[in-house]
Structure 1
Amino acid sequence: MKKIMIQFHATLEELVGYVNSVSSEFELFVTVMVLKPFSLKEIAGELSVEALNFDGYIRIIFTTQKPSMDATSQNNFFDLNQGAIGLLIGRLTEQGLKESALSFMSDNKEEIAIANKVALRLKKITKAGAIAVDPINGAEANARTHRYTEGAKALYDEGVKIIPLAGNCFFKFTN
């Protein structure tokens, strides 16, 4: 079983550019999944920032074949669309820039090959290395695998807080 999980920070514009680039290059179908309330929307053509104008958590789903849209939940969607690649979209809010995450899990060699290429493209547009900071006691821990884009670094340099998917810590970028 091959598993991929890449946690990173990026601007919404960078995420949309990345989605359009990899979906075009690898001929992937793109579906927008809103987690609460659950809904699905197929994207024909290029994704736009406006297409992601929803409240709540959004996940972009890449599939090599036209996806089954009969799902009633996130888990049901992944059951119906084995080998899908998920991209949880982190957004810029009043609290700060939230974390994004690319995830994949499959046994299928062809799906693994595509997922590896999609992950490699993400690694090419991001840098690795951050420091996680506990806001209560100031303790710091090296988060060497955490990744970020130039846009996320620019926001950090402007004073925007870089926050994780869960928990109360925040990240510092040192490069």
Structure 2
Amino acid sequence: MEIKDWITLVVPIIATFLTALIGFGVTLNKIKREFKYTIKSYLYQDIKKLYRDLYVCLEKVILDPMLAFEDRYIDELLNFKPDIYLFSSKNLIYCYRDFGTYLFNINEAFKHYKIEIDYEDYDYDDNGNVVGVNFGEDEVQEYQFKVSTYKEENCPSSKELKEKVENILDNLKKELNMV
């Protein structure tokens, strides 16, 4: 067999092999890109839902600043912490932490105040032991009055809350490329 015969046999085989190899590489690359795009798309939708839910939660305290004194609201806000820390930028984490710390401090001061006025309603002996409780209807009304007065005097303003929420909202928009 001559070289010419070999070339006529080998060239089509090599060309077919190279075509198949290039086609396989292009197809594999396209599948990888589509897979990444699909994952990013689903992740983006989840992050969008998380940010929307966070904003709804933050909007509640602007509309009703008295929620800053409620443990259930603080717990609701803290439920976002793992996802925020996992998916968000440092700026958003900082704003979220700043707002959460601000509300947490307000809530803790309120709890401390409630404990202080709660101890006023007990009778103590000379050794400091509790010997009686003074919870008549008048005392309960006085306690409720003190609590409501404290809340009114120490309630954060909607303007102050809105400023802190606006920082979070600005960062949410940046992360969603809405700015």
Which TM-score tier does this pair reach, normalised by the shorter chain? under 0.3
Larger Rg: 2
Q: Which of the two has greater strand per residue? A: 1
User: TM-score by structure 2 length?
Assistant: 0.25
Q: Which of the two has greater helix per residue? A: 2
